[in-house]
A = this chain, B = another copy of it.
Amino acid sequence: VAAERRPATFRLAVEYDGTDFHGWQVQSRHRTVQGDLEHALRRLAEGPVRVTGAGRTDAGCHAAGQVASVKLVTRLAAERLQRALNAILPPDVRVLEAAEVGPDFHARFDASRRAYRYLVHPAPTALGRRYVWVRTVRATVAALNDASRAVLGEHDFTTFSKKGSDNGGPRCRVTRARWRRRRSRLSFDIEADRFLYTMVRRIVSTVIDAAERGTGARAIRAALASADRRAAAPPAPAHGLYLMRVRYPRVGWVPKEPLDVFA
């Protein structure tokens, strides 16, 4: 029995390989993830569709777990919508989870925390060429963790932002910043209530520099305090960056099961 057509709101967990996208946000001339999603939804809905992402990832950046809120008029239940979308979407975007939510749900405004990961590999690699930053890091994991500890807590992150990106102000509260090594590959996990544009990539490059120079947490604290973009290193490349998951009050982390292909 087909359900009645009704206006509905869905929360989608979306994975994508950012390689062939010009980022998340719709652009008239370029392929974007939001654009592909809206295009697919228009084939499944009657009338307008509206898609909002929790984070606007830039060109080349990947998502193991972006979250989107979707408004449309449809007969479909969440699970059917997910299957239908995956049948239409190209293979470099997958809908991992779908849930029908209340009409007030907003993927961006309701998010209380975002988790990003950054991957660094020391040697040129064919298999990783789109998925890790190739850079030899001449510092220990302990030194990296010591330096990055300085970003924990609430700070003005102007130093680590792109000019003109501060439409919510420069303050962010970082609740996790941790490096790990798995064989020769380094990963950096960072969580905050919000992120400024290119913030993770600027923290990654600047923290590596500080750990290598031995200036550590002191250098990072001074860079933060200066609120001067010239105190940060140029951002690490986008293709090493992954939006991993997004946290919502009462719901918890979305997606529930973080993707582990490159874990």
Could you tell me the distance between the alpha carbons of A15 and B125 in the complex, rounded to whole angstroms? 7
A123 to chain B, nearest CB (A): 7
Q: Are A263 and B17 CB-contacts (below 8 A) given A91-B129, A126-B92?
A: no
Q: Does A62 contact B (CB under 8 A)?
A: yes
Q: Does A230 contact B (CB under 8 A)?
A: no
Q: Does A251 contact B (CB under 8 A)?
A: no
Interface of A (DSSP majority class): loop
Could you tell me the distance between the alpha carbons of A126 and B90 in the complex, rounded to whole angstroms? 9
Q: Does A35 contact B (CB under 8 A)?
A: no
Could you tell me the distance between the alpha carbons of A259 and B129 in the complex, rounded to whole angstroms? 13
7 contacts between A and B (CB under 8 A): A94-B124, A94-B126, A96-B123, A121-B261, A127-B259, A131-B261, A132-B261
Please tell me how many copies of the chain the complex holds.
2
A243 to chain B, nearest CB (A): 12
In chain A, positions 221-263 with a C-beta closer than 8 Å to chain B are: 257-263
**CB-defined interface of A122-158 with B at 8 Å, one 1/0 digit per residue?**
0111111101100000000000000000000000000
Closest to A97 in B: B123
* Selected interface stretch from A73-81, A159-167, A178-186: A178-186
8 closest residue pairs by CB, A with B? A128-B261, A183-B260, A94-B126, A17-B126, A92-B126, A15-B126, A91-B129, A16-B126
Q: Does A111 contact B (CB under 8 A)?
A: no
Could you tell me the distance between the alpha carbons of A86 and B64 in the complex, rounded to whole angstroms? 30
